[in-house]
Amino acid sequence: MNEKSIRVFASATVANVASGFDIFGFALTNPGDEVVAKLSDSKGVHIVQITGDNGVLPLDPKKNTAGVSVLKLLKHLNIHEGIELEVHKKMPLGSGLGSSAASCVASVFAVNELLCNPLTIKELLPFVMEGERIACGSAHLDNVAPSLLGGFVLIRSYDPIDVIQIPCSLDLFCTILHPKIEIRTEVARKMLPKEITLQQHVTQSGNACGLIAGLLKNDAELISKSLHDSIVEPVRSTLIPGFKEIKFQAIKSGALGCSISGSGPSVFALSLSKAQAEKIGRAMENACRNHGHECTVYISEINQNGPVVLTC
């Protein structure tokens, strides 16, 4: 059989984006994960190597998010060719940056390329989201969709899947602060309130709609006013040491807004220039370290392109 192989990078993502719990997300340019996919004479999916995970992730494809996603894809296509995968984790696990999503997206995108693109990019969504079910018990799209499609996305519906890309011409930069702690998504989801008030619903809906309008109108002031979460952030922020000070320093340093990335512990802030993003990053880092935690800061543009083929 042809020894054709391909290496693909898929980026980290910011999900929820303050007011859009489970329905908003955007893609970063860094960090991210890389996957090498290769056709094999041995039938089935075989994960031959995982790096950067400290031995935590399983090689069994039925228990691995990337493996599950590719198995679902091959079953759908009724393809029995063998696939070998190498997964190279280049971002922290349990970071709130869509680590499992990046691996799923890179794997499915790579295999679809190997098979000469039998499916469109959007048609890959049901398969990448199945990996998320393994990772956190819920097949949500707010990480995998932006990582796969690029840019800022709205998940309008899950049944049927309806994902809308939101164009924005502003040169937005994202500062990510990742404290060296881990918050498991399933734990963070259990903290969520089962009921909310009508006023909370109205406030959150207004901010969600305002954020979309701000992006479409390239209105930084409206984006800033809309980056507020009155439902999830107050609960989950208790898991992040020094969150209030980190957010205060980000806003003080010029951020349009600041909130939790996904289920945390990473915290994101948006701004309008790289220099501003770096200034915000220094302020957030100092606030985190003042509360006794080591951290990493990433500065990223918004990734408008989705996965990237590195070698083939």
For the chain, first and last CA: distance in Å? 16
**CB of 103 within 8 A of CB of 35?**
yes
User: CA triplet 171, 150, 66: central angle to 5 degrees?
Assistant: 145
Candidates 23, 16, 280; CA nearest to 172 is 280
Rounded to whole angstroms, the Cα distance separating 252 from 307 reads 34
What does the pLDDT read at residue 177?
98
Give catalytic residue positions: 132, 185
What does the pLDDT read at residue 39?
93
* pLDDT (tens place) for every residue of the chain, 312 residues total: 345 899 999 999 999 999 999 999 999 999 999 999 999 988 899 999 999 999 899 999 999 999 999 999 999 999 888 999 999 999 988 899 999 999 999 999 999 999 999 999 999 999 999 888 776 667 789 999 999 999 999 999 998 999 999 999 999 999 999 999 888 777 778 889 999 999 999 999 999 999 999 999 999 999 999 999 999 999 999 999 999 999 999 999 999 999 999 989 999 999 999 999 999 999 999 999 999 999 999 999 999 999 999 975
Say which residues have a Cβ less than 8 Å from residue 231's Cβ, sequence separation at least 6: 21, 193, 196, 200, 204
In Å, how far are 92, 280, 300 from 272, measured between CA atoms?
Answer: 26, 11, 11
User: CA triplet 9, 140, 195: central angle to 5 degrees?
Assistant: 145
Can you list the alpha helix ranges (DSSP code H) found in 78-152?
Answer: 99-114, 125-136, 144-149
Say which residues have a Cβ less than 8 Å from residue 179's Cβ, sequence separation at least 6: 240, 241, 265, 266, 267, 288, 293, 294, 295
Tokens (6 digits) for 294: 């080591």
Say which residues have a Cβ less than 8 Å from residue 287's Cβ, sequence separation at least 6: 242, 245, 246, 248, 249
Say which residues have a Cβ less than 8 Å from residue 99's Cβ, sequence separation at least 6: 12, 33, 89, 91, 92, 93
The number of CA neighbours under 13 Å toward the Cβ of 233 is 23
Can you list the alpha helix ranges (DSSP code H) found in the chain?
Answer: 65-77, 99-114, 125-136, 144-149, 185-190, 198-217, 220-226, 233-236, 243-252, 274-290
Burial class (CB in 10 A: 0-12, 13-18, 19+), 23: buried
Q: Within a 10 A sphere around the Cβ of 44, how many other Cβ atoms? A: 15
